Structure 1
Amino acid sequence: MRPGPTLGVEEEFLLVDGSGRLAAAGPEISEQVEDLDGQVEHELRRCQVESATAVCDTIEEVVEGLHALRDRLAAKAAEQGLRLLPSGTALMADDRPPRFTPDVRYHRMAREFGGIAQASLTCACHVHVSIPDAATGLRISNHIRPWLPVLLALTANSPFHNGDDTAYASWRHVLWTRWPSAGAPPHFDSVDAYESTVEALTTVGAAMDRGMLYWDIRLSAHQPTVEVRIADVLPTPTEAALLAAIVRGLAAQALDADPVAKPAPEVLRAWLWRSARDGLTGRCVHPCTGDLVPAWQAVNDLVASLELGDDAEFVEQALAGVRASGNGAQRQRAAHDKSEQMTDVIDALAWSG
């Protein structure tokens, strides 16, 4: 029995050379990866690539699709002496500013947003869940919204930036929220309210168009999906699929339940800051109570509340793996602690298939 709506997962990666420095080969590598069940696309910077699975019914299809895409990208990168790096932020400092991908839209973004665009080099994981209509998508968005800090804590994978430990588990989240259209979405009472907000953002230029609505949850501009964008890119396909299964469980739950909380935007922003800082090693806000609790308690309570259907066994096993080895941020720091060399972190993270 199919456990719920269909899924698609997008992943963004960095390309680095043998010394760990960013490599401006994204467009060339993207164009060489063909004939896949999924797609590979250009990203904002030449040192990035993005992949997207085909529409998937099962979590097994998600894992297989992500593996295949990563393997092909890593193989093409290796042909040029490069490595595919699933990290939310750049690990090594570089005196050369990463170049923008030659694209009219990307260069317009650079002109319009200046230093924000120049400093925005981050990699995320986005989960698409199929919806029948916009109203259903907003119901799902409202339901997932208070759980965003828990999802962020689970998926944090960017403690280092340009050679330094930021003291955050997800520095990507901090960097990303500088965009004027980024952050947690409002709680929307209607499709009209959503459309009015979109119009206000695009009218003032905070977003050039719907594709630049950078909320942590949004209605897709091109597909009949709601897109959850809270996570750093994950170290492995299994962890990305774990996120997808939990998001699908929340989407199914939203059809039968009201949101557990409706935090004001400034309050939810503070909740997310705490999760970006602590990740899984500290505390995050439990949306059911508003109290700070150990992050794992909030994760366990979230998963226990979901009817996961055929995804249940996969989620249990994948969560056990994260409990045993830590999330991406914990594993990055553990790799660095061995010799205090960023190259050890890159060696631990780089995808080799």
Structure 2
Amino acid sequence: MERGELFTLGVEEEFLLVDADTRQLSWQGPSLLRAAPDTGGDLHAELTRCQVESATPVCATATEVLASLRELRSTLAGQARRHGLRLVASGTAPLREPGPPRLTASHRYHRISEHAGALAIASPCCGCHIHVGVADPELAVQVVNHLRPWLPVLLALSVNSPCSDGVDTGYGSWRSLTWSRWPSAGPPPYFASYAAYEETVRELLASGAALDRGMIYWDARLSEDWPTVELRVCDVAPTAEEATLLAVLTRALVARAVHELKAGHRAPSIPHHSLRAALWRAARDGVSGQGYDLGTGLLAPMPALVRRLVDWTAPVLERHGDLGFVESVLRHLGEIGSGAQRQRRALASGGLKGLVDMLSAQTEPGA
């Protein structure tokens, strides 16, 4: 759905809940949500009871997205405090846990767990999912093709999960490596048509690699619930401002893709193995290191690839009124570093508990 030339936006964020004293994961997610007040968006349980999810309403501007994200985070953080908990925005749980996470009481979640085994009870992962309105499924599939080359850059901008199970993994986004173990996850194939997209989904369902269409976990896909293209490659952002940055950049890429398609320009067919290699490099180095340039086949500084994305989408960002916001947040990130860099600094200065404290403080609106 579009409002004239203004593509609509929605953002879903997944968070962890930790005990305020021990900093270990808490299993009170469902009870916390039952007591939560009404908000302008939606609050949901997740696969594991230590996770909660928020979803903004349909938004038209970056200002609307940012205000909604701040309100939702404030509501969840306030509920967490009242339950003796803290809300944490990290792609993975930093501390070593005494046992596997407990599942939310849901028939679907327990069916997934029985079918997927250890994949379902591995350390929980938290992502940021961005929806951009594109009502025509044929057009939406071609937009996903155009998004594929930019997935590593968006992942690099979002890296926020360097620590898991009590150790620094050596990756900026351990979540993305962990999540890619699901057979229906990772970068989407290149699709010639919507019919080809549907045939691939049918094969995943027939094989049992996905139990239902909601388990099509590609980094970019057609949403099953809304007339949108859904981007799923990003770690949950440390702050609402960074989540909004990811959202408006994604919308700009979608809008630029639609413009290119209307001009008769189809997306380049990037080989699947090349895209996986670029995503691996982005997960490892984040925005501060080297990225794999899919155009040249060579390593390049990731900040240069980010600048290429901004330059490519600048006309759309300007039309939506987002260019100034994007430049401002990117400058700020250049000063304070990515989420992963901030996590590592907190780990070095305060250990694992200090890291969790920093994450919970950072998640608060206005942090």
Report the TM-score when normalising by structure 2. 0.93
Distance 1:346 1:331 in 2: 11
Deviation at 1:289, TM superposition (A): 2.3
Name 2:214's counterpart in structure 1: 211
Distance 2:38 2:163 in 1: 35
Deviation at 1:343, TM superposition (A): 1.3
**Secondary structure of 2:259's partner?**
coil
Residue 304 (structure 2) pairs with residue 297 (structure 1): yes
Name 2:340's counterpart in structure 1: 329
Report the AA paired with residue 302 of structure 2: A
1:11–1:123 Cα contact (<8 Å) kept: yes
Distance 1:149 1:162 in 2: 25
Distance 1:166 1:203 in 2: 35
Please, which runs of 5 or more residues in structure 1 have no aligned partner? none
Distance 1:3 1:240 in 2: 22
**Secondary structure of 1:256's partner?**
helix
Name 1:314's counterpart in structure 2: 325
Q: Tell me whether 259-268 or 302-311 shows the greater mean CA deviation.
A: 259-268
Residue 9 (structure 2) pairs with residue 7 (structure 1): yes
Overall identity of the aligned pairs, in %: 48
Report the AA paired with residue 165 of structure 2: N
**Secondary structure of 1:11's partner?**
strand
Q: Tell me whether 25-34 or 234-243 shows the greater mean CA deviation.
A: 25-34
Distance 2:258 2:123 in 1: 35
**Secondary structure of 1:93's partner?**
coil
Report the TM-score when normalising by structure 1. 0.97
Report the AA paired with residue 226 of structure 2: Q
2:129 corresponds to which of 111, 123, 126:
126
Q: Cα gap change, 1:14/1:139 in structure 2, threshold over 3 Å: closer, same or farther?
A: same
Name 2:279's counterpart in structure 1: 272
Name 1:348's counterpart in structure 2: 358
Distance 2:9 2:284 in 1: 29
Report the AA paired with residue 275 of structure 2: L
Q: Kindly report the root-mean-square deviation, in angstroms, between the aligned alpha carbons of the 2 structures.
A: 1.3
Distance 2:269 2:207 in 1: 27
1:125–1:234 Cα contact (<8 Å) kept: yes
2:278–2:293 Cα contact (<8 Å) kept: no
Distance 2:137 2:267 in 1: 21
2:17–2:87 Cα contact (<8 Å) kept: yes
Distance 2:84 2:197 in 1: 46
Name 1:230's counterpart in structure 2: 233
Name 1:43's counterpart in structure 2: 46
1:108 corresponds to which of 97, 107, 111:
111
Q: Tell me whether 111-120 or 151-160 shows the greater mean CA deviation.
A: 111-120
2:101–2:122 Cα contact (<8 Å) kept: no
Instruction: State the Cα deviation string for residues 141-186 of structure 1 (Å, max 9, x = none).
Output: 0111011011111100000001100000000000000101000001
Distance 1:154 1:334 in 2: 18
Deviation at 1:96, TM superposition (A): 2.2
Distance 2:340 2:7 in 1: 30
Deviation at 1:259, TM superposition (A): 5.7
1:4–1:248 Cα contact (<8 Å) kept: no
Please, which runs of 5 or more residues in structure 2 have no aligned partner? none
1:16–1:47 Cα contact (<8 Å) kept: yes
Q: Cα gap change, 1:278/1:259 in structure 2, threshold over 3 Å: closer, same or farther?
A: farther
Distance 1:194 1:34 in 2: 39
Distance 1:320 1:3 in 2: 28
Report the AA paired with residue 206 of structure 1: A
1:15–1:26 Cα contact (<8 Å) kept: yes
Name 2:60's counterpart in structure 1: 57
Instruction: State the Cα deviation string for residues 169-213 of structure 1 (Å, max 9, x = none).
Output: 000000000101000001111010001000000011100111000
Q: Cα gap change, 1:319/1:221 in structure 2, threshold over 3 Å: closer, same or farther?
A: same
Distance 1:260 1:20 in 2: 45
Distance 1:289 1:104 in 2: 48
Distance 1:259 1:300 in 2: 22
2:92–2:124 Cα contact (<8 Å) kept: yes
Residue 305 (structure 2) pairs with residue 287 (structure 1): no
Distance 2:227 2:16 in 1: 28
Name 1:183's counterpart in structure 2: 186
Distance 2:123 2:186 in 1: 14
Report the AA paired with residue 288 of structure 2: T
Q: How does 1:19-168 map to 2 (within 5 A)?
A: 19-168=22-171
**Secondary structure of 1:322's partner?**
helix
